Amino acid sequence: MTEEKIPKEKTTTRNVDEIRETWFSKFFASKIALIIHLFAYLSVNGLCYMLNLMFWNGRLWAWHVSLGWGIGLSVYLGFYYIFTSGIKSITKAIFLIHLIVYTTVNVYLTLINFVYMASWPGVLWAHIPALLWGFAVMMNFVLTIMISGKGLSAAEIRKNVTGILLLTNIGYYGIVNALLYALGKYATVYHLAVGTLLYWGIAVLAHAGITLLYNYVEGVSGAKKGVILHAIIFGLSGLINVIDITFFSEYMLFYTTRVNGFLISVGIWALVIAAHAFLAIRWDQTGGDVKDLMKWLLIMHLAVYCASVGYMLFLNFSIWEGRFWVPTAALGWAIGLSLHGLYYIIVKTDETNIMKISLLLHLIAYIGTMVLLIWLNLAIWQGRFWVPTVALGWGVGLAAHTTIYLLNKNNMFTSENGLKASVFLHLTAYIAVAALLIWSNLSMWEGRLWFPIALAGWGIGLGSHILVNYFITRR
């Protein structure tokens, strides 16, 4: 029996040639555009130097324009070289642009450091960003050597990229902590020990665990790996809080409140992880059924909503401060819950009409917001019912949205019916805005009826539009 060969995973290393025909590459490869850019750079900088010398105030400022714009010009020249030369590897192109930006920015910072040395006597700081950023450039170079032109598969690229990111994190962890140790007089012991050395160290361990999990642990689905990742973050965040509360309590304000908040967050986060685990199991059992996932997400959202509203009612009445505030929070949250429910219906029914989906979402948001605003208007009454102003103002946009959907549904946006469609849109806007103006005039009465003037003036334009459409379509 011959051994079955497993097909090699498809390579995914992209090539610069794939984007040479896009507008982006054509723009940067244009010699005319480059000449125009160079001419603008030289002429504007010449003007700046002339103005600087003509209105001399003891300070040469024009060089900031030259170097600041020069950074952008250098990047432009880098793209021009990439798209007009034989460079094919995208990773090489990215590294080249990274190197150009690093070099030009650090030259600018070094000049600033030396030119303004008098303002900070004896302080040489430009080497710090150069060293920190230089490490990232070095790691980018290593990644370029590992990936460029090797024809690697997606899994191999992912391993290389995530490995370099982990090494970069470890490197920065060591560099930053060494700098803080060297600059100890500028950093308190608390921030040095907890803020970077301990907490960042825990984060590095988490990063290493995640990298190993996603690259080298086989036989576990992506959904379950997500749960494991979630649990790792939860556990390490809890560990950080325990260390902080146990060993550094003297630096904390409101210690008891911090402890109680931590305990509550542990309970809530544990429930969230349990829900995540349930969804991951369902996802694997159903073979990645999006409809099933959306159903359970909606059920969980509804359960959390009901539990939260119940808890808010308990707080509102147990700690009464003379105001019933629960409906405000409940109605605000209900808007998001309604949109979530509508989105589930859209997914379940396989609706693909973007215009219809956007209109339904707009309508739900409009209705939910208006209910919330009516409650706020009545609950915090200040002698005026202002909700109709908002409703009619937003209603102008909603009416236009509805009209556009209906016109599109009836194939009105064509060369033959375009003028007629514009009349319908114009008429919709006129009626909706007229309602808003009439309400505004009558609700804020100042002894004068002014809305007919606005409507008559606009009506002339609307009438002309209708007549033009009538005579043209009769031809």
Task: Return the pLDDT at 73.
Answer: 95
Residues 415-438, mean pLDDT to the nearest whole number = 92
Per residue in 311-364, pLDDT (tens digit) is 999 989 998 878 888 999 999 999 999 999 999 999 999 988 999 999 999 999
Nearest to 243 by CA among 195, 187, 173: 195
Would you say residue 29 has pLDDT above 90?
A: no
Nearest to 298 by CA among 336, 332, 270, 330: 336
Beta bridge partners of 137: none
CA dist 471 and 423 (Å) reads 13
Count Cα neighbours of 167 within 13 Å in the Cβ-side half-sphere: 14
Q: Which residue has the tokens 């460079």?
A: 87
Domain ranges of the chain: 9-152, 289-383, 389-475
Task: Return the pLDDT at 195.
Answer: 67
Per residue in 53-87, pLDDT (tens digit) is 999 888 889 999 999 999 999 999 999 998 888 77
Distances (CA, A) of 286 to 277, 308, 348: 14, 30, 15
Per residue in 177-197, pLDDT (tens digit) is 887 777 665 555 555 556 677
pTM of the model: 0.66
Task: Return the pLDDT at 5.
Answer: 39
To the nearest whole number, what is the mean pLDDT of the chain?
86
